[in-house]
Amino acid sequence: MLNKIKETAAFLKGRVSGTMPTTAIILGTGLGSLVDYIEDKQYIPYTEIPNFPVSTVEGHSGNLIFGVLGGKRVIAMQGRFHYYEGYDMKQVTFPVRVFKALGVDTLFVSNAAGGMNKNFRVGDVMIITDHINLFPENPLRGKNYNELGPRFPAMTEAYDHKLVAKADEIANELGIRVVHGVYVGTPGPTFETPAEYEYFRIIGGDAVGMSTVPEVIVARHGDMRVFGVSVITDLGGKDVTEVPTHEEVQLAAEKAQPNVVAIMRELVKRS
């Protein structure tokens, strides 16, 4: 694994001009149009990057984008790798390993999620304050490489408290309603049964989705600061009869996108 990470990092260093960024952004659902604000973009399709898996999901194209956002050099992942697509946890999190090898120390992530918290509304922007890992596997399972991080990393502050506070400040300045919550990461690809939404709420979850947790675990293993947001695209619970669809999720995320993008742009600038 170490050789692959090194090989991919060396390829990117050779391919991209300018200094390497210390900020990386995973453009999940709801954050795609952040790309429009990145200047001096250099696109590198995943298909050209050695050791990178290739994204297959509708609505997710696959490129690494190097550029400048809010005066900061950034790497953006346009399209992420989901566990439900069939990738293993090492593949899902490989880009985060490469970011670390390039010198990245702060990771921004976004996703679409179903809300269980009864105070949430569709279109809400949820700042992730913590997560519950319900994937069947942990990306750190197997041999630990001390060069990458400790065998038993703490997850006490998986989501950086200072970045959460800054994001709150920014949302307040911009007049954007944000909520806080615990993200439950599940393998998917099924949406939840009403009983499952209820179960996730009872164990302490506020929203549920099919991504983010693996990448965040690996980022924390590498001691990166992490900030994440979920766009609440549907609501679930034992009394909810509406059926979530991929299209509905995309549409709700699309609507919330300007808010997510505005917060992220400013937070990257101030981070």
Closer residue to ligand HPA (CB): 74 or 235: 235
Site residues, ligand HPA (CB under 6 A): 112-114, 191-192, 208-210, 233-234, 236, 244, 249
Contact between residue 78 and residue 63 where contact means Cβ atoms under 8 Å apart: yes
| Beta-sheet pairing, 106-115 with 72-78 | unpaired
Closer residue to ligand HPA (CB): 125 or 208: 208
**Residue 247 CB partners (closer than 8 Å, separation 6+):** none
Contact between residue 133 and residue 50 where contact means Cβ atoms under 8 Å apart: no
Closer residue to ligand HPA (CB): 85 or 192: 192
**Continuous segment of H or E residues that includes residue 168:** helix 161-174
Please state the closest distance from residue 112 (CB atom) to ligand HPA, in A.
4
Please state the closest distance from residue 116 (CB atom) to ligand HPA, in A.
9
- 20 token code pair: 């390497």
Closer residue to ligand HPA (CB): 99 or 191: 191
CA-nearest of 30, 110, 40 to 70 is: 40
Angle ∠(128,198,155) on CA atoms, nearest 5 = 35
Contact between residue 207 and residue 122 where contact means Cβ atoms under 8 Å apart: no
Please state the closest distance from residue 210 (CB atom) to ligand HPA, in A.
5
Please state the closest distance from residue 236 (CB atom) to ligand HPA, in A.
5
Please state the closest distance from residue 245 (CB atom) to ligand HPA, in A.
10
> Alpha carbon of 105 to those of 20, 61, 84, 110, 260: distances in Å?
11, 25, 27, 17, 21
Closer residue to ligand HPA (CB): 106 or 211: 211
Query: DSSP state, 210?
Result: S
Please state the closest distance from residue 250 (CB atom) to ligand HPA, in A.
9
- 188 token code pair: 């998917």
Find the residue with minimal CB distance to ligand HPA.
114
Closer residue to ligand HPA (CB): 21 or 209: 209
Closer residue to ligand HPA (CB): 124 or 234: 234
Please state the closest distance from residue 126 (CB atom) to ligand HPA, in A.
12
Instruction: Report d(CA 57, CA 80) in Å as an integer.
Output: 9
